[in-house]
Amino acid sequence: MSILVIGEHDNNELKPSTLNTVTAALELGGEIDLLIAGANCAAAAEHAARVTGVKRVLKVDDPSLADSLAENLSPLIAKLAGEYTHVLVPASTYGKNIMPRAAALLDVQQISDISGIEGEDTFIRPIYAGNAMATIRSKDAIKMISVRTTAFESATEEGEARSKTLQGLRNRDCQSLLVRNLPDLRDPN
């Protein structure tokens, strides 16, 4: 069994949600690769190499990945996913944006928001606003999974993973971000 964890980061360091997702991957067993895709993301890749349980960090450094747009990341993930039995991403806004698109490109179902792992093909996820739990079994060759990060402990940072830079994976039909409007959260009005 081989597992790819999609690292959520800001090009400088990993988001804590990625550490919880690695813990979920550790529960599956098998070898874990951690993908760091971004622009000028060497610092995030170095941080990823210290995560306990990660065997290899795959770094894709390309200007088209600077803004983490799902339109650019999903084809990359779909290209890489063929080498893995499981692809995991945090069930954050980031993961909920890219994973359905990547799963659709691979023509497999997405297993959303898991909070437990029963086996390599069986997962637990909340339904009815968390009032009930469902057990999901997938027969897909590649399991595309978003992980409810609060259900898993954070992985420690005592590892020494190898790093590999991947070349030639650029999507020719890249999208670009024109404007990012963020509210000023300091103003109560």
CATH number of residue 84's parent domain: 3.40.50.620
Segment 24-50 shows an average pLDDT of: 95
Q: What global pTM score does this model have?
A: 0.89
Q: Indicate whether 159 belongs to any domain.
A: yes
pLDDT value of position 46: 96
Q: Which is higher by pLDDT, 174 or 55?
A: 55
Residue 186: pLDDT band with limits 50, 70, 90 = confident
Q: At residue 162, what is the residue type?
A: R
- Give the number of other CB atoms < 10 A from CB of residue 22: 28
Q: Indicate whether 132 belongs to any domain.
A: yes
Q: Indicate whether 172 belongs to any domain.
A: no
Q: Is the pLDDT of residue 36 over 60?
A: yes
Q: Give every CB contact of residue 39 below 8 A, 6+ residues apart in sequence.
A: 11, 61, 62, 63, 64, 65, 66
pLDDT value of position 64: 81
Q: Domain residues for 10?
A: 2-165
Q: How far is the C-alpha of 69 from the C-alpha of 106, rounded, in Å?
A: 18
Q: How far is the C-alpha of 78 from the C-alpha of 71, rounded, in Å?
A: 12
Q: Indicate whether 25 belongs to any domain.
A: yes
Least confident stretch, 39-43, 76-80, 96-100, 181-185: 181-185
Based on the structure, what is the number of domains in the chain? Answer: 1
SS3 134: strand
Per cent of the chain over pLDDT 90 is 78
Q: Indicate whether 55 belongs to any domain.
A: yes
Q: Indicate whether 189 belongs to any domain.
A: no
Q: Is the pLDDT of residue 94 over 80?
A: yes
Q: Indicate whether 91 belongs to any domain.
A: yes
pLDDT value of position 11: 93
Q: How far is the C-alpha of 49 from the C-alpha of 53, rounded, in Å?
A: 10
Q: Indicate whether 136 belongs to any domain.
A: yes
